[in-house]
């Protein structure tokens, strides 16, 4: 049972590779905050991408977290088990006329924006959608959907902002909320599942800070609570770049095989309980 006042955080890795030092930092920060705030820590596998996410990565992630000493107060929630919930959410947004079917392929969009250097892009780097479908009548949209051609569901950002008054989200343009091959985008599934897991506080990397305006827009449209948010620093490589799953040298299993202990990992990422606790004062 969830009591209304219970503080609930989550760690939400994608099992499409091994955890690296950046994930270790995020998991340890969440763990320290849960202890500082007296809450519970939930685990969610963000495995909507069925091509890239694999059960053996999930197993390895859980082993790494166990080794780090990060414990969870729930079983694993897998987003791959939640596709019906995402479908229902899209249906609700469609009923409100806040999403529309977008038929242009990625290649078509790329070709269109190719020679337009100042074409606007969202914080994830995707170009704003140039296709015409948002202006079609409801009847046209419905008949194109019935034709069976593949499409993505995109948020009509102007309509969403008109409805909520949340103008800061306009940096996102008409973002994709679901694709034919993946029934939800990160932004949709995270909002639906944070509500489903009754998450009250989220701490995640600074790179996701721009997502806050979009998530709060979606939460408002869907009448879901907005969890309190804090962002932690990112662990960078020697060249100052974000760590990547494809560079195995910072993978936890690799460092462990080379003889590193948990205290070595904490030293490498400059982690301390005090630093994590300072973040507790930064929740919005």
> Residues interacting with ligand GLU, by CB under 6 A?
12-14, 46, 190, 204, 208
Q: Which is nearer to ligand GLU, 13 or 183 (CB)?
A: 13
Q: Which is nearer to ligand GLU, 70 or 159 (CB)?
A: 70
The tally of CA atoms less than 13 A away on the side-chain side of residue 105 is 5
Q: Which is nearer to ligand GLU, 163 or 245 (CB)?
A: 245
Residue 115 CA to residue 24 CA, distance in Å, equals 41
CB–CB of 241/207 below 8 Å?
A: no
Q: Which is nearer to ligand GLU, 245 or 256 (CB)?
A: 245
CB–CB of 100/156 below 8 Å?
A: yes
Residue 145 CA to residue 155 CA, distance in Å, equals 16
Tokens matching residue 109: 């969009």
Q: Which is nearer to ligand GLU, 44 or 141 (CB)?
A: 44
Please state the closest distance from residue 204 (CB atom) to ligand GLU, in A.
4
Please state the closest distance from residue 278 (CB atom) to ligand GLU, in A.
19
Please state the closest distance from residue 208 (CB atom) to ligand GLU, in A.
6
Residue 93 CA to residue 154 CA, distance in Å, equals 10
Please state the closest distance from residue 198 (CB atom) to ligand GLU, in A.
15
Please state the closest distance from residue 277 (CB atom) to ligand GLU, in A.
20
CB–CB of 257/7 below 8 Å?
A: no
């Amino acid at each position: 049972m969830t009591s209304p006042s219970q503080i609930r955080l989550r760690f939400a890795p994608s099992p499409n590779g091994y955890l690296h030092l950046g994930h270790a930092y995020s998991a340890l920060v969440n763990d320290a905050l849960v202890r500082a705030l007296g809450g519970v820590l939930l685990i969610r596998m963000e495995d909507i991408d069925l091509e890239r996410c694999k059960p053996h990565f999930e197993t390895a992630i859980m082993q790494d977290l166990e080794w780090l000493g990060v414990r969870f107060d729930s079983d694993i929630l897998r987003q791959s088990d939640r596709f019906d919930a995402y479908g229902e959410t899209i249906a609700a947004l469609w009923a409100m006329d806040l999403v529309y079917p977008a038929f242009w392929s990625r290649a078509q969009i790329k070709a269109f924006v190719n020679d337009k250097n100042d074409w606007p892009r969202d914080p994830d780097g995707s170009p704003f959608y140039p296709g015409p479908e948002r202006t079609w009548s409801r009847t046209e949209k419905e008949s194109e959907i019935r034709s069976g051609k593949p499409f993505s569901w995109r948020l009509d950002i102007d309509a969403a902002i008109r409805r909520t008054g949340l103008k800061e989200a306009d940096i996102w343009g008409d973002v994709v909320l679901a694709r034919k091959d993946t029934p939800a985008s990160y932004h949709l599934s995270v909002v639906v599942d944070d509500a489903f897991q009754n998450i009250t506080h989220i701490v995640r990397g600074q790179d996701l800070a721009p997502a806050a305006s979009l998530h709060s827009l979606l939460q408002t449209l869907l009448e879901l609570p907005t969890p309190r948010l804090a962002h932690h620093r990112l662990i960078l490589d020697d060249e100052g770049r974000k760590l990547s799953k494809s560079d195995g040298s910072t993978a936890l299993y690799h460092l462990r095989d080379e003889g590193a202990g948990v205290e070595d990992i904490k030293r490498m990422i400059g982690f301390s309980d005090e630093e994590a606790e300072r973040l507790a004062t930064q929740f919005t």
